[in-house]
C-alpha cells in the first residue's frame, strides 16, 4: 500500500493546485490514500511561506470540502508544524484546533531569523562553518523529537538541501537524534523532495536510513508535493531504497494513530 501524506495547498503562498488536483494525481499514481499537510500558521505572520494566522479554519474547510467531493477516497488531514523552541504551547493549541490525522514536525529554522532551506539566505552558508549549521540543525531536531508533539518527522536531513555538507562520516551529527527518535517511538519521513533540490538526493541519505533501520525506527514515504505533478514523485526510488535498507513496512496515519502496512 502506498500513501502520500506530505502535500501542500496554495494557502502557504508557494504551492500551486487545488486539493482536488492533488487527489486526482494521487489516484492516477495508484496511491491508496492522500494527506494534506500545509505549513502551519504562527501567532504572528512570521515569514512569507505559511498560511496566515486566521487561515486555519479555511484550510480545514477546504479539506473537508474535498472529502465531500471524493467520498470513497481516504483524504487525511495533517499539518506541517515548525518546531521552534518557545512555541510548544502554540503547537498544542493547533493540535486541539482540528480533528487531525497527523501532525508533522519540521525544523526549518536554526536561528530565529534563518530558515536554512530558504534560497533567500543562501549567502549565509558561506559566512559560517557548515559544521556549526549542521550541529545547530540536529540539536534543534533532537529537541523536536523530545517534545513528542508530532506523529512523524519531516525531511530528516533537510540541512543538506543546497549541498553544503561537512566532511567525513556524518553520523556524528544525527546519531543522538536517532536515539531520541527510537526512544520516543516516532516515525521518520523518507522524502523524495530532496531529489528536486540542489542536493539531488532523498531525505535522509542512505547511511542515515540504515542507522534508522538499525534502531527499528518506523518510516513513512512522502513527496512534499507543492504542485499536483509532484504527488508520489519518484516513489519507486524511495520504496526501493527503503527495501534495500531492510524495511518491509511503512506507516499509515489516521486520527493521530500510526498503523504499519506492508511495503509494495
Listed ranges 40-48, 49-57, 77-85, 181-189: which one lies at the site for Fe ion (CB under 5 A) = 77-85
Distances from the Cα of 158 to the Cα of 52, 53, 162, 164, 263, angstroms: 24, 25, 9, 11, 24
Under rule CB under 5 A, residue 224 binds Zn ion: yes
Under rule CB under 5 A, residue 33 binds Zn ion: no
Under rule CB under 5 A, residue 101 binds Zn ion: no
Angle at the Cα of 14 (from 9 to 20), degrees rounded to 5? 25
How far is residue 87's CA from residue 105's CA, in Å, rounded to a whole number?
Answer: 12
Under rule CB under 5 A, residue 103 binds Fe ion: no
Angle at the Cα of 208 (from 132 to 195), degrees rounded to 5? 90
Residue (217 or 225) nearer to Fe ion, CB: 225
Residue (40 or 142) nearer to Fe ion, CB: 40
Position among 203, 224, 228, 233 found at the interface with Fe ion (CB under 5 A): 224
Under rule CB under 5 A, residue 106 binds Fe ion: yes
Residue (115 or 249) nearer to Fe ion, CB: 115
Strands 75-82 and 102-106: parallel
Strands 102-106 and 257-262: unpaired
- Quote the least distance from Cβ 52 to Fe ion, whole Å: 17
Residue (179 or 234) nearer to Zn ion, CB: 234
Question: What is the total residue count of the chain?
Answer: 264
Q: Of 64-83, which residues contact Zn ion (CB under 5 A)?
A: none
Residues that bind Fe ion (CB under 5 A): 80, 106, 224
Amino acid at each position: 500500500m502506498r500513501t502520500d501524506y506530505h502535500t501542500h495547498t496554495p494557502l502557504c503562498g508557494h504551492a500551486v493546485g487545488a486539493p482536488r488536483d492533488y487527489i486526482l494525481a494521487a489516484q492516477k499514481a495508484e496511491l491508496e490514500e492522500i494527506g494534506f499537510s500545509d505549513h502551519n500558521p504562527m501567532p504572528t505572520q512570521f515569514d512569507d511561506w505559511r498560511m496566515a494566522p486566521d487561515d486555519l479554519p479555511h484550510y480545514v474547510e477546504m479539506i473537508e470540502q474535498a472529502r465531500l467531493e471524493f467520498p470513497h477516497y481516504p483524504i487525511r488531514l495533517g499539518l506541517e508544524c515548525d518546531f521552534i523552541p518557545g512555541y510548544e504551547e502554540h503547537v498544542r493549541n493547533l493540535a486541539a484546533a482540528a480533528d487531525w490525522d497527523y501532525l508533522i514536525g519540521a525544523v526549518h529554522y536554526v536561528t530565529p531569523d534563518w530558515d536554512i532551506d530558504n534560497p533567500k539566505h543562501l549567502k549565509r552558508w558561506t559566512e559560517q562553518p557548515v559544521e556549526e549549521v549542521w550541529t545547530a540543525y540536529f540539536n534543534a531536531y533532537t529537541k523536536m523529537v523530545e517534545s513528542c508533539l508530532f506523529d512523524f518527522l519531516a525531511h530528516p536531513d533537510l540541512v543538506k538541501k543546497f549541498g553544503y555538507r561537512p566532511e567525513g562520516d556524518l553520523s556524528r551529527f544525527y546519531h543522538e537524534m536517532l536515539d531520541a527518535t527510537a526512544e520516543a517511538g516516532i516515525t521518520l519521513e523518507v522524502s523524495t523532495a530532496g531529489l528536486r533540490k540542489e542536493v539531488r538526493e532523498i531525505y535522509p541519505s542512505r547511511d542515515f536510513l540504515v542507522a534508522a533501520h538499525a534502531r527499528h525506527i518506523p518510516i513513512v514515504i512522502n513527496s512534499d508535493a507543492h504542485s499536483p505533478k509532484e504527488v508520489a514523485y519518484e516513489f519507486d526510488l524511495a520504496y526501493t531504497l527503503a527495501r534495500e535498507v531492510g524495511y518491509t513496512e511503512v506507516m499509515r496515519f489516521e486520527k493521530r494513530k500510526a498503523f504499519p502496512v506492508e511495503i509494495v
